[in-house]
């Protein structure tokens, strides 16, 4: 199992940060590698809700469907791929840090070998930079 974990502290209250991250319309706003993210069934924060999107990982376009599999208001939400070439889960957690909010993105996926000719560690490092950049962009947007 391959893991990417990044976190950022955003100088905004947890309710505001959680609402931003759990609004599907914001995914393409803060994620430079995600396009056309749209909910295709269920409500935004309803367990079982599905969304379709395209992702670019080291320049390769991948089509995905994901499902909201866990949701705890103000604490965390978890997505799992239900369609796509590389199965994954993303668990995003939110912690109050005295008026600021720590957001931690924890993603696990299977080996990338079936899609990329590069070694897993190289692609994982590059993807980790994308995740970090996306979290920093969300921070900038929320703190503006």
| pLDDT number for residue 62 | 84
| pLDDT number for residue 110 | 77
pLDDT in tens, 60-69: 788 999 999 9
Of the candidates 10, 16, 33, 14, the one whose C-alpha atom is nearest the C-alpha of residue 90 is 33
The pLDDT-based confidence of 56 (bands split at 50, 70, 90) is confident
| pLDDT number for residue 122 | 73
Least confident window among 2-11, 41-50, 114-123, 129-138 = 114-123
| pLDDT number for residue 1 | 76
CATH classification at residue 9: 3.30.530.20
Number of domains in the chain: 1
**Mean pLDDT estimate for the chain:** 90
Give the number of other Cβ atoms within 10 Å of residue 144's Cβ. 5
Q: Is the pTM of this model over 0.85?
A: yes
| pLDDT number for residue 128 | 82
β-strand partners of 3: 108
CA distance 20 to 139: 10
The whole domain housing 112 covers 2-143
CA distance 20 to 55: 20
Angle at 141 between CA 76 and CA 103, to 5 degrees: 25
The pLDDT-based confidence of 119 (bands split at 50, 70, 90) is low
Mean pLDDT value across residues 105-122: 71
Mean pLDDT value across residues 121-137: 85
The pLDDT-based confidence of 57 (bands split at 50, 70, 90) is confident
For the record, the structure tokens of 62 come out as: 């991948």
């Amino acid at each position: 199992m391959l893991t990417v974990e990044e976190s950022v502290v955003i100088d905004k209250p947890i309710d505001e940060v959680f609402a931003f991250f759990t609004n599907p319309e914001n995914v393409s706003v803060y994620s430079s590698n995600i396009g056309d993210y749209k909910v295709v069934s269920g409500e935004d924060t309803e367990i079982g809700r599905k969304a379709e999107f395209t992702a670019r990982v080291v320049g390769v376009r991948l089509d995905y469907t994901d499902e909201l599999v866990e949701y705890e208001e103000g604490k965390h939400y978890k997505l799992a791929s239900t369609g796509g070439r590389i199965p994954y889960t993303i668990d995003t957690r939110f912690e109050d840090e005295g008026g600021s909010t720590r957001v931690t993105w924890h993603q696990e996926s299977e080996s990338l070998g079936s899609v990329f000719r590069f070694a897993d560690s190289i692609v994982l490092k590059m993807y980790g930079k994308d995740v970090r950049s996306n979290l920093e962009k969300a921070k900038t947007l929320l703190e503006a």
